[in-house]
Chain A
Amino acid sequence: MLQVIEPGPLLTIQDAGRPGLGRLGVPRSGACDAWGLGVANLLVGAAPGSAALEVTFGGCVLEALEATAVGLGGADLGAERDDGVRLPSGTAHRIPAGARIRFTGAVHGMRAYVALAGGIAIGTWMGSASTFAIGRLGFEDGRPLRPGDRLVARRPGDLDAVGGTWPSRLAPHPAEWTGPLGIVPGPDLDAAPDDALAGVASATWLVSTSSDRMGLRLDGPSLGSGREIVSHPLVPGAVQLPADGRPIVMLVDGPTIGGYPVLGVVPTVDLPRLGQLRPGDEIGFQVERPEAARGRLRDQQAAFDRGAAALRADAVWVRLAAGAGG
């Protein structure tokens, strides 16, 4: 069992989200970085989409009230045990009773995931444990976690499978690729200034400080303003052009319907990278056809599956060794 000592800027419970409710205005929510969530969960024997903690940037402190197995995925936010032992992303650890985990600040990325054995034991709201404050969905009407909140593992006694390490060389985090993000041309280019899409692809963009789980605002050259369109649905990754001419990229908690022209959509394969961008990061875009983006997604899924298989094989040996030792 973990207790929140300090939440940091934003600490929430997230899982794979609640797709399929867009018609009611409910966004998918869930982990901003599904890859990182999956890694953290697999490290402690939970299904990849299980509920875990999403830690934002630095400042979060958690205490183990009893010996607790934790898996870490996503960004490396400088996590360490209070005795100074580093807890890198992609590793699992047994935290003894009374010990604390401290996130000292970003080494890279924006969001880390802390998983418990079998997943965090928590109910679901409209099919998901994910916190979404505006919809009052998730733990305690969708409020972020605060000091004193306690998280319980589904299998609290399972402390053995914590020797594994995510095979990062076999299955590197998508955010390690620093080239341009893909952008699939959108449906509203007629309503945008000429060359707006080319403008997105040719400029270097700075992620603005007014970015959150709803969307990333980008600072850079103004692309000019488009005309208002008949509002249509949005998805995570949609790149809207608001009146000030600077694009906004929708994230997992973003609005389900919007009235600004959508210049393009960042494909599924690049969403984990989007979820790890932090204010001040520089990014670029490259126009991509949907087929090409799907090809990259297949490769990414295959890499994740290879990583998961290697981790499973590893876990067998860890368990055998633990059994032989006991």
Chain B
Amino acid sequence: MAERIGIGRARVEPFGDAALLVVLGEHVDRAVNDRVHRLAFGLDLRAARMPGLGVPVPAYASVLVPFDPSVLAEDAVRGVIADALRAAGEAVAAKEPAAAPEPVTAADPGPVTHVPVRYGGADGADLAEVAVRTGLSEDDVVRLHAGAEYRVFCVGFVPGFPYLGMLPEELALPRRSTPRLRVPAGSVAIAGRQTGIYPSDTPGGWHVIGRTDLSAWDPHRDPPALLEPGARVRFVPA
């Protein structure tokens, strides 16, 4: 069975033979995600100077730490994780003195990226339905969606897909019961307390309320991803 070895509030779980998963929380929560990015940043610094330690992958409330088991022992990786947790200011169970937190450059969100959106119509086929189901007018849906500042909790599923939160509670709806087989690239969609931008034509189960001409993923651009984990975002009605 999975080993439950905790370091302070963190849980470190085996994830196959070549990775560990550090779980910092069980909810989608901005404070937890701050800790995720601080930890990922610290682990990234360590990966750069430790052969066999892979680049960490942050998600909402957890960080994947890949490693090459032919180079590094699991215990060594656990040691690095414990060290990074302490440096990130995580509470440590033992009576060790708390180290001074590292500068949180990674969590420094930087400037806000403004994403122009054409809401409704053919670009946002589900806007009317979202309005009906939330009991709001279409204008109110747009006002609420464009009124909040979002953070990129993580990027994943497909290249460049930003998981953005927190969507205002009034707009929270479960996913569509039947996913669409093809959601066009640039679609701006919502589900639960999240919103996102489809980087390429893919199947999708979120409610599409608009579309942007900004490309969330362009392999010919540097950097290819419009938004990296931790970035700040606002939507602007176009």
Interface string of A111-132 (1 = CB under 8 A from B): 0000000000000011000001
- Chain A nearest Cβ from B164, distance in angstroms: 13
Report the separation of the CA atoms of residues A290 and B13 in the bound assembly, to the nearest whole angstrom.
Answer: 11
Interface of B is mostly: loop
- Whether the pair B1, A24 counts as a contact (CB closer than 8 A) is no
The answer, yes or no, to whether A148 is at the interface (CB within 8 Å) is: no
Interface string of B217-232 (1 = CB under 8 A from A): 1010000110011000
The answer, among B13, B16, B58, B59, for a CB contact under 8 Å with A238, is B16
- Whether the pair B57, A22 counts as a contact (CB closer than 8 A) is yes
- Nearest-neighbor residue (CB-CB) of B23 within chain A: A187
Interface bin, chain B: 35 or more
- Whether the pair B156, A257 counts as a contact (CB closer than 8 A) is yes
Most buried by B among A136, A232, A262, A266: A232
- Whether the pair B14, A185 counts as a contact (CB closer than 8 A) is yes
Interface of A is mostly: mixed
- Whether the pair B219, A126 counts as a contact (CB closer than 8 A) is yes
- Nearest-neighbor residue (CB-CB) of A296 within chain B: B17
- Whether the pair A23, B229 counts as a contact (CB closer than 8 A) is yes
- Chain A nearest Cβ from B102, distance in angstroms: 18
Report the separation of the CA atoms of residues A301 and B71 in the bound assembly, to the nearest whole angstrom.
Answer: 12
- Whether the pair B15, A187 counts as a contact (CB closer than 8 A) is yes
Interface string of B60-89 (1 = CB under 8 A from A): 111110100110001000000000000000
- Chain A nearest Cβ from B8, distance in angstroms: 18
Q: Which residues of A contact B19 (CB under 8 A)?
A: 235, 265
- Chain B nearest Cβ from A198, distance in angstroms: 11
Given A187-B14, A230-B25; 9 other pairs, CB 8 A cutoff = A24-B225, A25-B217, A134-B200, A136-B200, A184-B16, A185-B14, A232-B59, A262-B15, A269-B17
- Whether the pair B158, A293 counts as a contact (CB closer than 8 A) is no
- Chain A nearest Cβ from B81, distance in angstroms: 14
The answer, yes or no, to whether A135 is at the interface (CB within 8 Å) is: yes
The answer, yes or no, to whether B161 is at the interface (CB within 8 Å) is: yes
- From known contacts A230-B27, A257-B59, A294-B69, infer whether A23 and B200 are also in contact, taking CB-CB under 8 Å: no
Q: Which residues of A contact B200 (CB under 8 A)?
A: 134-136
* Residues from 75 to 127 in A contacting B, C-beta threshold 8 Å: 125-126
**Residues of chain A whose beta carbon lies under 8 Å from any beta carbon of chain B:** 19-26, 125-126, 132, 134-137, 141-142, 184-187, 189, 230-233, 235, 237-238, 255-258, 262, 265-269, 290-291, 293-294, 297-298, 301
- From known contacts A136-B200, A189-B1, A294-B17, infer whether A25 and B158 are also in contact, taking CB-CB under 8 Å: yes
Q: Which residues of B contact A230 (CB under 8 A)?
A: 25-28, 59-62
Report the separation of the CA atoms of residues A291 and B69 in the bound assembly, to the nearest whole angstrom.
Answer: 10
- Whether the pair A25, B160 counts as a contact (CB closer than 8 A) is yes
Interface string of B131-169 (1 = CB under 8 A from A): 000000000000000000000001111111101000000
Q: Which residues of A contact B57 (CB under 8 A)?
A: 22-23, 233, 256
The answer, among A126, A189, A237, A268, for a CB contact under 8 Å with B2, is A189
- Whether the pair A187, B13 counts as a contact (CB closer than 8 A) is yes
* Residues from 20 to 57 in B contacting A, C-beta threshold 8 Å: 21, 23, 25-28, 40, 54-57
The answer, yes or no, to whether B236 is at the interface (CB within 8 Å) is: no
- From known contacts A268-B17, A290-B74, infer whether A185 and B156 are also in contact, taking CB-CB under 8 Å: no
- Nearest-neighbor residue (CB-CB) of B156 within chain A: A257
